[in-house]
Structure 1
Amino acid sequence: MKKVLLSMLLLGAATYANAQKGEVSKAKNAWALAKFAGAQTQPLETTLKTLAEGLKNTDNAIANEKSKTMPEAWSYRALFASRISFVDSLNVQNALANDKIAEEAIVKAKELDTKGAEKENISEAELTLSNAARNRAIFAYNKKDYKSALEFFNQVTAKNPTDTANFVNAGVTAKQIENYPEMVRNFKSAIQLGYKDGESLYSEVISTTFEKVKDTVAGTALLEEAIAKYPENPYFVGMQTDLYIKKGNIAKSQELLAKLIAKDGKNAAYQYAMGDTYYKQALDLQGKRNAIDAKKKKEFDAITTKMTGFIDQALPYYKKAYELDPKMTSALENLKIIYAFKDDKVNYEATKKLLDAAKQ
């Protein structure tokens, strides 16, 4: 009698275990159904119900000692939870809760999937999680909830740290809420990953680091990086020139520019920047001259003479810059001011005519 009873108990245990393994099969079938339904147009509520039922199957499977070590139980759990996170655009809290379930399931699936049989499902779940976070970020951004959008975009970059577009999105969002350190961090990451328009990002990062973050050391380092990559960019060359001028190291600025001009004399940006090294000294003297008492004519005239000397030195470089690049209207603007200062009416009118034509 005991043997019969024991056999019956063993049969019952085996049946229970098979039933639990059957939950994995149910989950697989439910996933196939969910994918088919996903290709059809149906209410969000219906889609979420189908996915929740499949997730419930995996709940039952991982609750059993026999089936909780099956990698499929966890990979399909990750698929269902990540999909719920992706499609539930109305209930963010539910989406985030399923996000967590999916992440935990992915970790467990990778741990158990020693043969790599579930590699494809795991990758799909990871991609879906990344897309879910991106969608939440976009929804939040469109609602002008930039703080949440930045949080979600940062989640996306953490999940997919090689996609430059996501780092740019995070940087743009951070700028909206004036979180400049975050903007700089994300744009720098995009640059380092080879973003196609890294030149523009450098401009944003450099100007923000100097003007908003107020970090001259970091800004200078970034500027040097940018010039190394984009030596012909007039903004970078001009800014470096400004830095040296502000430090009172005009000679260093002119030394570097002279080397660049010697290497490439047809580069308009270098010619323009060299002109600036003289022109900005003249502007600085103008400020000092304006502060002089009108009665101190000798002192006034002495500064004027010095100003004129700097302007005369700037003039040929600006002319050369415009000659090399007729689209460089900034050179024309400075030339017009110089000719006005020198009371050169002929060249003033000619330059003004060129400038007006360029602006049309």
Structure 2
Amino acid sequence: MKTNIFTVALSFLSVAAVAQKSEIRDAGDAVEDGNYAEAKTELQTAESMLSEANEKWTERFYLYKGQAYLGSGENASLEDLETAAEAFQKAQELGNEEEAVQGFDQVRNALVQSAINDQNTEDFESASDKLYYSYQLNKQDTLYLYYAAANSLNGQDYATALEYYKDLKELGFDGSGVEYVATNVETGEEEIMSTKEQRDIMLKTGEYENPQDRKIPSKKGEIAKNIALIYIQQGEDEKAIDAIKDAKAENPDNIALLQAEADVYYRMGNKEKYNELMQEMVKKNPNDPNVYYNLGVTAAELGDNEKAIEYYKQALEIDPEMTNARMNIVVAILAKERDIIDEMNELGMSKEDNKRYEELEEERKEIYEQAVPYLEKVIESDPENVNVIRTAINIYNQLGEEEKAAELKARLE
């Protein structure tokens, strides 16, 4: 009786093993036919009895599982790609040194391509997750960690970006290197080749020309700067200053770092230090209109409108199309009106007061006349700006230029 029970059990296991092999084999056929959904179904059935399979069939199971969840590599979810990567790794551990390795590389390529697609649609969180997982699959590829951090930053996930940037800093990530570039003869566009050898081969085909080796600068300064900017965003100003000091040590001539440092002091209310750093920026980058514009903003906030106007004019000399600078000149000019109005309101009805009132009225008109050319230029470059048009209407009315005021009113109707 005992022998019969053992025989029945053995027979059952044999039948199960045969069925399991059949399902694994069918999954492989489905993968080969590109029917990945069917392959997944077959594999899910076989997985419940996987412990009964020998090493060869277990290895095939994981290989097919990796291929099924990878699919064509297009539009695969991060979850499926993670499943595929784990399956290929197990297949490799079981002795598959060729197909599993190839599949694993395809998973990483699919992750990167999918992340690029996410970037193009501004799904930065998804792009970051995929790039970070690609980095985890091979931690020698720290460039993927760098791009994951950049995507988190673009997606305003500052906590994650900060974590990744700190990791890069601790790893001593540099990111410098050489780009191997050649021009596509047909399109006329430059393309970057993965290696010098690949570029040399493409040049021999005659389809590419104008080879160039371009140096990729170190990214250490950028990483330190971004750490500082994230701290600024989080209100950790002291940490931001420390991070910027580290960044400047790496890249002392980086204008962006100097601007970031100035921004920190500005946020902290230290306008003197801000101006000191901005003046340093002027010396290092005298042809940047944004430097003068920012100096103008600070001067205006400190109540020095004349100095602000001077800076805005310098910005316009470099970039005549900088509408914001021109508009801020209007604001700074009209700010002078406040003191005049206050004095006018304090005057009485005496002969002397009436005379002073008339003098102040003339000064007020002079202020309006100073503002008009800048206002008109702003309207010319931004004809849909309702607030600017309304300001101009009020000024024209004050100056007695009713026709110009009426013309602008017609635009608002």
TM-score bucket of the superposed structures, by smaller chain: 0.3 to 0.5
With structure 2 as the length reference, what TM-score do the two structures score? 0.43
TM-score norm. by structure 1 comes to: 0.47
Q: Which has the higher strand share?
A: 2
Bigger proportion of residues as helix: 1
Structure scoring higher RCO (CA < 8 A, sep ≥ 6) equals 1
